[in-house]
Structure 1
Amino acid sequence: MNILITSAGRRVSLVEAFQKELKTFFPQGKVMTTDFNIELSAACHVSDKSFQLPLVCKDEYFSSLLKVCLENDIKMIVPTIDTELALLARKKEAFLSHGITPIISSENFVNMCRNKREIHTFFEDHNVQIAKEYSKLDYKLPMFIKPMNGSRSIDTYKITKHKQLTEYHFNNDDLMFLKYIDHDEFEEYTCDLYYDKKHTLKCIVPRKRIEVRDGEVNKCVAEKGALVDYIKSRLSFIDGAMGCLTAQFFKHKETDEIYGIEINARFGGGYPLSYFVGANYPKWLIQEYLLDTDVALDYYESWEENLLMLRYDKEVLVHDYKA
């Protein structure tokens, strides 16, 4: 019973969490990884075995991934980047026919998450307030611009003066003009949500962002409070949702007014904090999809509150490396 974490990059903590939990149930089980360049991936060096694959956008990616799974007794695939989600969702049945379970939500939900306009409609349908999208002919400053299909904070802009706007902003149909949510008034949270086989919400861990580096949280604290009940009352069931979802919200510091921003249908880079507070998503995935048992809980909320995570760079040393 082996697990494969794809596009592992620097997700060392995620690999180590799966290694620890898998060996509890299957002492001989291995957690393997893939990446475009396994020699330069820290997570690939800490995993039990790693495989170099072509970029996700290449035609041969799927066949290469399936070959790795079949030759290494892989029973579960855990994706980690947005660009591979649509492909895995589309090819899910092909993996399942070989006894391999990709931890991926339905194709419809994955595509919705990748489209910021569609996820805004989803939020509104679930009574979650969103930042107003302006027409490019009628907007108010300050405003925030972001791409409809973006990730890692690429191509995002805070606009406070008209002279900051260029033809690129107006002519690029992928860019959305949005009401600016003032960071002096609102705090940003990334919430790790766990959905079981029946698409039912089993756990919510809000992580308040303190510092972000390269689009990934670098310092954060796990907090209970208004967000937990807000999400639980509105998103207790999501058709097609599976495993870990990472949802972003803003909450007003004084009034608890809440805005939904986006959802990513995968583990987020800051998930290790949720693991360390007791939200053991790797264990639950193993129980559900490798042991075929129900997660033994109705709803889990006994995780440690106010745990602060401060991330830092740690060396992975590779001997006899030749560039």
Structure 2
Amino acid sequence: MLQCFRSAADHLGIQLEILACDLAPDLSAACAAADRAFAVPRCDDPSYANAILDIVRDNRVDLVVPTIDTELMALACVSDAFTQLGARVHVASTEVIEIVRDKRLTSEMLEAAGVPVPKSLGHEALLSDPDALGWPVFAKPSGGSASRGLQVFQAIEELPGRFEEPMVFQQFLRGPEYTINMFVDSGGSLRTVVPHLRIQIRAGEVEKGRTVRRDDFRQIAEGVHRALPSLTGVACFQVIDDPELGPRVIEINARFGGGYPLADHAGARFAQWLLEEVSGLPCSANDDWRENVKMLRYDSAIYDG
């Protein structure tokens, strides 16, 4: 992400300073690679948003880019305060965040907009009608992310009587998984849709991927845009292309996805387009990206001392 923004700034000929934040910046690779780094509280701490606002105020920051789901609501709740400081926080409205952070609500909203989704039920509803989804069923925390808490149950007898957090149960889908990256400009127009096949996943993030062009994915992205018309900037959603049911949307991320660098390298330069918007430059967003671009990730290291 840092490399994408730096490359974008070089292309635009603008001076860019990147500030990074972490609970423990001395142990953060992103903080080590940034121009400056700051320690902040956990994003679920009530003082987190104010800490970010202080950094923005003291350093005249123009753009704030959250990268994890759990900080979105905290920043969305104070978006007006960022605007008053002259900064754009790249986050959707609280209404949108409430939807995308609740996988059950996400499914309901998308289905109402005509977007294909798997059948979904809550725990009590599944217990009341055990065969409603067929078996096996796929289970995930309603507010989970990064592949946390995913489970597959083969029969109703395997289902626990209670869970530690609200769960969503869905039809078990088979087939390849895709991420569809999308960019909506500041005027609310869907400008770019970039799908990539998730060839191999590690800890919920794509490790190997390849860009693909498919008209049906574009149509699904347009449906997501209809369902969430106030969503602007960068977002992505996951699709499983079931051989019998067809593509089904399983979740939405109202932020940069972990696989964004693949889209950027393929020509969908979301980082550049955001910098254009906050710099007052004409937005050059387009859908002219390259198909069949492959990304193969590997571990690297940053040394200190």
Q: In 1, Cα distance between the equivalents of 2:17 and 2:49?
A: 22
Would the alpha carbon gap of residues 312 and 173 (structure 1) be closer, same or farther in structure 2, given more than 3 Å must change? closer
Q: Tell me what 1:10 maps to.
A: none
Q: What's the CA shift string for 1:232-274, capped at 9, x where partnerless?
A: 5424554211111011111235x78211111110001111100
Distance 1:146 1:316 in 2: 34
Instruction: Give yes or no for contact 2:180–2:221 (8 Å, CA) kept in 1.
Output: no
- 1:162-198 C-alpha deviation (Å, 9 max, x unpaired): 45322334xx56111211112xxx2111111101112
Which letter maps to 2:284?
A
**Structure 2 residue aligned with 1:281:** 270
CA–CA separation in structure 1 for the residues paired with 2:7 and 2:71: 25
Q: C-alpha separation between the residues in 1 aligned to 2:258 and 2:298?
A: 13
Q: Give the alignment's Cα RMSD to 1 decimal.
A: 1.8
Matched, 1:178 2:170: yes
Do the aligned partners of 1:21 and 1:283 also contact (CA within 8 Å) in 2? Answer: yes
Alpha-carbon separation, structure 1, partners of 2:10 and 2:60: 15
Q: Name the counterpart of 1:157.
A: 151
Q: Which structure 1 segments of 5+ residues have no match?
A: 1-13
Mark the CA change 1:178 to 1:150 in structure 2 (over 3 Å): closer, same or farther.
same
Q: Distance in 1 between matches of 2:179 and 2:105?
A: 19
Equivalent residue for 1:143? 137
Aligned to 2:180: 191
Greater mean deviation of Cα atoms: 20-29 or 90-99: 20-29
- Shift in alpha-carbon separation, 1:124–1:294, aligned structure 2, 3 A: farther
CA contact (8 A) 2:136 2:154 kept: yes
> 1:317 corresponds to which letter in structure 2?
Y
Residue aligning to 2:231: 241
Q: CA deviation at 1:117?
A: 1.4
Q: Could you list the runs of 4 or more consecutive aligned residues of structure 1 that deviate by over 6 angstroms after TM superposition? A: none
Pair 1:18 & 2:5 matched: yes
Q: TM-score, normalised by structure 1?
A: 0.86
Q: Is the 8 A contact 2:48 2:74 kept in 1?
A: no
Determine which of 88, 113, 136 is the counterpart of 1:126: 113
Q: Distance in 2 between matches of 1:308 and 1:201?
A: 24
- Greater displacement, 92-101 / 65-74: 65-74
Q: What letter matches 1:311 in structure 2?
A: R
Question: 1:201, 1:235 within 8 Å by CA — same for their partners in 2?
Answer: no
Distance 2:223 2:96 in 1: 16
- d(CA) in 2 for partners of 1:111 and 1:207? 26
Q: Which amino acid aligns with 2:300?
A: K
Match for residue 296 of structure 1? 284
> Which string of whole-angstrom CA distances, capped at 9 and with x for unpartnered residues, describes residues 174-233 of structure 1?
111211112xxx211111110111222111111111111111111111111144332254
Paired residue secondary structure (1:74):
coil
Give the secondary structure class of the aligned counterpart of 1:316.
coil
Aligned-partner residue type, residue 97 of structure 1: Q
Given the alignment of the two structures, is residue 250 of structure 1 paired with residue 240 of structure 2, yes or no? yes
1:203 to 182, 192, 199: 192
1:218 to 207, 227, 230: 207
Aligned CA distance change for structure 1 residues 252 and 161 (closer, same or farther; 3 Å) = closer
Question: Cα 1:143–1:274, aligned 2, differ >3 Å: closer, same or farther?
Answer: same
Q: Distance in 2 between matches of 1:128 and 1:231?
A: 6
Q: Which amino acid in the other structure matches residue 250 of structure 1?
A: I
Q: 2 CA distance for matches of 1:256 and 1:173?
A: 29
- Conserved? CA contact 1:206–1:227, under 8 Å: no
Residue 136 of structure 1: SS of its match in structure 2?
helix
Is contact 2:43-2:71 (8 Å) kept? Answer: yes
Between the aligned partners of 1:130 and 1:232, the Cα distance in structure 2 is 13
Q: 2:119 & 2:237 partners in 1: Cα distance? A: 18
- State percent identity of aligned pairs: 30
Counterpart of 2:117 in structure 1: which amino acid? I
**CA separation in 1, counterparts of 2:69 and 2:41?**
16
Question: Aligned pair in 2 of structure 1 residues 35, 26: CA closer, same or farther (>3 Å)?
Answer: farther
The answer on 1:99 being equivalent to 2:56 is no
Letter in 2 for 1:19: R
